[in-house]
Every structure is written in structure tokens, then in C-alpha cells.
């Protein structure tokens, strides 16, 4: 059954009473308030969902008081999209859609707290599947409607219904709508810009897993380190050895030795520099290890010229084992990014394809499948989104061992080439030393929401973002592509003024 949120929203916005809520019109800055009684009395019929419910939640653990509205949307046969809307007691007039991670959505209060604390009404979904195990994705192959929900429909339906809910609840339409997501949430973000260009005014896409090349990269990386019956595998000490050698050669290239390589693409450290001349010790690498490491840095091209395995960046090797089977067993904590669970979808039931024998032909089958066509958010033509005034902030940590920053750079370049007139509506920012979405030695904590809001409200695109560590021990400037941060040579390294955004050497 098609939910009627879009129709309801149209009816709500057509009433003159709502436009009178502020004397300056719907775009005027305003803070609207809500009460527990208003939450209890809210008519959930706007959602057209039989299981819709409301509850008032008092302020706690960094989150303000809010009205929580939950429901299940059923826009198509077999589709069950769980949604959670959190409407703060003091609303800034803006909406914030939030993405998931792995093969799951995210309806947790933890994901919503930052936006709520800033006064945003938050929109969340389970992506069409209620499970929270980010690698348990066999349902994708078993339930076509849920697969389509997760691929693109859930975020759109969540958004349309969320706009109707907010307008009905506060008695006034939203002034701005933003979306933020990282990893799978980053893919969802790009999908919104590509398929549903009028859903959001601005979109923040972090480290997006936007094609199945992320999963195939995981599989081929595991095979690379499992070569020779595991002879190419690395111990944690071996990875630390490699990272120390990389930092010794490339760390200070930005003017400051601080344990972070600001421009890994320009770092030319070669694995053969550590090759043993005799018996393997903890201070050298065997020939199979050198070969595997070089392959990891170089990546693997498929027979059609695309990346079957994206290159990994130099400088974060010690953390690779979280996503990659560097030990040489052929397995990794993600199960090849969950790809193995989808083999029945790509190759039919009872197929003989395994993570260990997955090859170039299998890669091509995966990338040309109907599921890939539905799931991948690779289209760089964002003309409709930009024509609607949309702004896109794409970012990626340079130490990411999951989706490679090369994947985001490829997309950024494609967007800039396809949309030259929208240069001030798109920014790609790299975060040196930062892992997948967070973590790593780099300044991984960035207030993306405030940065995007400043961009939208002022019309001035950011040249850089300021990142910190949660404990306050590190502050750095992260520059918009094609620039990279360089230390001026004097002054406090934790003062952003001590860093300049300079042209890259690579």
C-alpha cells in the first residue's frame, strides 16, 4: 500500500494558518516548541501506518527532550520500512535525515543525538530490514522488496513521510532538509542526490560504499594476503613495521612529523625496501609478503578496466586487519563485506563460487547484475540535484581500510567533470590519518552538520574543515580537493592558522 505522506504534506502546506506561524514567512529563522501533550495528541494518520505510535522522551545523556514517532511504511508489496522520527522540544525548523552502516539501517538515539542537540528533527530508518548485524545480509538475496528498500527506496520514503510528520507536528513546514551518512550511509546519501534530487537541500556523504567494488576489493585483498598457502600473510608486528617505515619516509613531507601522512598518494615508499636478504626476522618481510603488499598498494584492474580491487593508501597499515584478512587465512571479520551471502543472488542456488575462488569473471557478473544496477550509486550526473540548489559534501579518511579513498576520489573527479557549472555546490575533502568514518591517528571529529549549515545559509563553500580528536589532543585543518594541508613551519601545530591549504604534488 502506497503511504500517503506526500499527499498529506501537500494538504498541510496548502493551509494558510501554517504560513502565519512566523511573520516573515517559512524561511525566516525561528525556534518552534513542542510539549509532551502535543506528542500524546499527535495524529499519526499522516503516516498511513497501522502500527504508528508516539512517546515523549525527557532530556538525557546529551539529547534534548523530544517526541519520538515510530511506524512501518509499506510503499510496495512486501516492503516493510521501519522509521523513527525524533522531534525536539525546541526545533530550529530544519530536518536531518540519517543513514545506516554495513548492511543495516540505523534507528538508534546515539546516531540522532548530535542533530537533536542542534535543534534538528531527525529522520531514521532500518532500511527495510529490522536486523542490526551489519554483516548478516542473506535477507538481501531472499527478499526482493527488502533489497530494493535498502538499495534506495527506504531513505526516500522515510524522507517524504518525515517531512509530512514534521509539518503536521509543528504546524509549519521545514525550512531546510539535510542528509548525513557515512559508509553505507554515504552510499545512501549519494543515492538521494542521484535518484531523488529534490528530497534534500544539502547532503553529506562520508566514505561511501557506493559500488560493489568495495565488497569485491575485500575479497581480492583477502586472496592477496592468503597467497602461497598463507605465506603472504602479515602478523601485527609486520604491519607495524611497514607503517613505521612509511612514516619515516613520508610523514614529514607536509612540514611536520606527527605520525600522519597528509598526502598518501604522493608517498612513494616501496615494500622491497624491507625485503629480507636471508631468514625472516621481525625487521624484514619475505618475498611473498613484499609481493602482496605491493599488490595491495597498486590495486587490481578487472578485464574491463575497472577496479576489481581498489588500492590501499600508505600510512595506516597497522589498522588494516580490522577490515582485511591480512593474517593470510583468506578470511576477514566482514566476510568479504558480506558479498559471500549474496552469491545465490548473483550465481544462482547451489553455485560453486566461494570467496576463495572468486575471480575476474565472477566480478564482472556481480557488477553487471540487476542488483548492482539497483544498489550502486555511481552516477556522477547530479545536474538535477544541483539545479534544485543542492549542495554535496563528500569526504573520506585517508587511512580507511574498508572502502578505499581512491573510490571517493574517482567519484569526485567524475562529478566535477560532469557538472562544471556547479563547482561551488560540491566539495570533496580528504581527512589525513582518519580511518573508516572515525578513528585512526588523524583529527577524526568534524562538525559536518554545522559546516554544511554554514555553507547553505551563507552561500560560501568551505575551503577546509576543522577536525579534532575527541580528547582534544589534536586539531588539524582538512582541505578541500585538490589541495592538501601543509604546516607553515612555525606556530602551534594544533592551531588551524598554522596550516595552509596547498596544491598537491600528486
Over residues 394-422, the pLDDT tens digits come to 999 999 999 999 999 999 999 999 999 99
Does the pLDDT value for residue 299 go beyond 80? yes
| Arithmetic mean of pLDDT, 433-439 | 97
Confidence of residue 488 (pLDDT cuts 50, 70, 90): very high
Q: What is the pTM of this model?
A: 0.93
What are the pLDDT digits (tens) for 73-114? Answer: 999 999 999 999 999 999 999 999 999 999 999 999 999 999
Kind plus residue range of the DSSP H or E element containing 274: none
Does the pLDDT value for residue 7 go beyond 80? no
Percent of the chain residues past pLDDT 90, beyond the cut: 90
Percent of the chain residues past pLDDT 70, beyond the cut: 94
DSSP designation for 394: E
**461-464: which pairs have CB atoms within 8 A and are 24 or more residues apart?**
461/391, 461/424, 461/425, 461/427, 462/393, 462/427, 462/429, 463/501, 464/429, 464/496, 464/501
Contact between 293 and 324 (Cβ < 8 Å): no
Cell digits of residue 88: 525536539
Confidence of residue 26 (pLDDT cuts 50, 70, 90): very low
Does the pLDDT value for residue 18 go beyond 60? no
Does the pLDDT value for residue 346 go beyond 60? yes
Q: Mean pLDDT score of the chain, rounded to an integer?
A: 93
What are the pLDDT digits (tens) for 351-399? Answer: 999 999 999 999 999 999 999 999 999 999 999 999 999 999 999 999 9
Q: Which domains does the chain have, with CATH numbers?
A: 5-23+33-211+378-462 (3.40.50.1820), 213-374 (no CATH)
What are the pLDDT digits (tens) for 116-168? Answer: 999 999 999 999 999 999 999 999 999 999 999 999 999 999 999 999 999 99
What are the pLDDT digits (tens) for 318-327? Answer: 999 999 999 9
Closest residue by Cα to residue 103 from 69, 143, 130: 130
| Arithmetic mean of pLDDT, 278-292 | 97
Kind plus residue range of the DSSP H or E element containing 66: strand 66-73
- What pLDDT is recorded for position 506? 66
In angstroms and rounded to an integer, the radius of gyration of the C-alpha atoms of the chain is: 24
Amino acid at each position: 500500500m502506497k503511504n500517503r505522506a506526500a499527499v498529506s504534506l501537500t494538504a498541510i502546506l496548502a493551509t494558510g494558518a501554517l504560513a502565519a506561524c512566523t511573520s516573515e514567512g517559512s524561511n525566516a529563522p525561528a525556534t518552534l516548541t513542542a510539549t509532551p501533550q502535543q506528542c500524546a495528541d499527535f495524529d499519526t494518520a499522516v503516516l498511513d501506518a497501522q502500527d504508528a505510535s508516539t512517546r515523549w522522551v525527557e532530556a538525557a545523556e546529551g539529547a534534548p527532550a523530544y517526541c519520538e514517532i515510530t511506524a512501518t511504511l509499506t510503499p510496495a508489496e512486501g516492503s516493510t520500512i521501519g522509521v523513527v522520527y525524533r522531534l525536539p522540544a525546541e526545533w530550529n525548523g530544519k530536518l536531518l535525515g540519517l543513514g545506516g552502516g554495513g548492511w543495516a539501517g540505523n534507528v538508534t538515539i546515539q546516531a540522532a543525538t548530535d542533530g537533536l542537540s542542534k535543534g534538528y528533527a531527525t529522520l531514521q530508518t532500518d532500511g527495510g530490514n529490522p536486523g542490526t548485524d551489519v554483516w548478516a545480509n542473506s535477507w538481501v538475496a531472499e527478499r526482493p522488496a527488502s533489497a530494493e528498500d535498502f538499495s534506495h527506496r527506504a531513505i526516500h520514503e522515510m524522507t517524504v513521510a518525515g517531512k509530512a510528520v514534521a509539518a503536521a507536528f509543528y504546524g509549519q513546514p521545514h525550512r531546510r532538509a539535510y542528509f548525513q551518512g557515512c559508509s553505507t550511509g554515504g552510499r545512501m546519501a549519494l543515492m538521494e542526490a542521484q535518484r531523488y534530487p529534490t528530497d534534500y537541500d544539502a547532503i553529506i556523504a562520508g566514505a561511501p560504499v557506493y559500488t560493489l567494488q568495495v565488497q569485491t576489493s575485500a575479497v581480492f585483498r583477502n586472496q592477496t594476503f592468503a597467497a602461497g598457502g598463507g605465506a603472504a600473510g602479515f602478523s601485527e608486528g609486520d604491519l607495524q613495521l611497514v607503517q613505521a617505515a612509511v612514516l619515516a619516509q613520508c610523514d614529514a613531507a607536509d612540514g611536520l612529523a606527527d605520525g600522519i601522512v597528509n598526502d598518501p598518494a604522493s608517498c612513494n615508499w616501496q615494500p622491497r625496501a624491507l625485503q629480507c636478504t636471508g631468514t625472516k626476522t621481525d625487521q624484514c618481510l619475505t618475498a611473498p609478503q613484499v609481493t602482496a603488499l605491493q599488490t595491495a598498494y597498486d590495486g587490481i584492474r578487472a578485464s574491463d578496466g575497472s577496479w576489481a580491487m581498489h588500492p590501499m593508501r600508505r600510512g595506516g597499515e597497522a589498522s588494516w586487519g580490522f577490515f582485511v584478512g591480512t593474517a593470510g587465512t583468506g578470511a576477514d571479520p566482514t566476510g568479504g563485506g558480506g558479498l559471500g551471502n549474496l552469491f545465490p543472488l548473483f550465481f544462482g542456488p547451489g553455485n560453486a563460487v566461494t570467496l576463495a575462488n572468486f575471480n575476474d569473471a565472477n566480478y564482472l557478473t556481480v557488477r553487471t547484475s540487476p542488483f548492482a544496477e539497483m544498489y550502486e550509486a555511481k552516477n556522477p550526473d547530479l545536474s538535477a540535484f544541483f539545479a534544485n540548489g543542492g549542495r554535496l559534501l563528500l569526504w573520506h579518511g585517508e587511512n580507511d581500510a574498508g572502502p578505499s579513498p581512491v573510490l571517493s576520489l574517482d567519484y569526485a573527479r567524475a562529478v566535477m567533470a560532469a557538472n562544471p557549472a556547479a563547482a561551488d555546490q560540491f566539495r570533496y575533502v580528504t581527512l589525513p590519518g582518519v580511518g573508516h568514518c572515525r578513528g585512526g591517528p588523524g583529527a577524526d571529529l568534524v562538525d559536518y552538520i554545522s559546516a554544511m549549515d554554514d555553507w547553505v545559509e551563507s552561500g560560501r563553500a568551505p575551503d577546509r574543515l576543522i577536525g579534532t580528536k575527541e580528547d582534544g589532543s589534536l586539531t588539524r585543518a582538512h582541505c578541500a580537493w585538490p589541495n592538501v594541508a601543509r604546516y607553515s613551519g612555525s606556530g602551534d601545530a594544533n592551531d588551524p592558522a598554522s596550516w595552509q591549504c596547498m596544491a598537491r604534488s600528486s
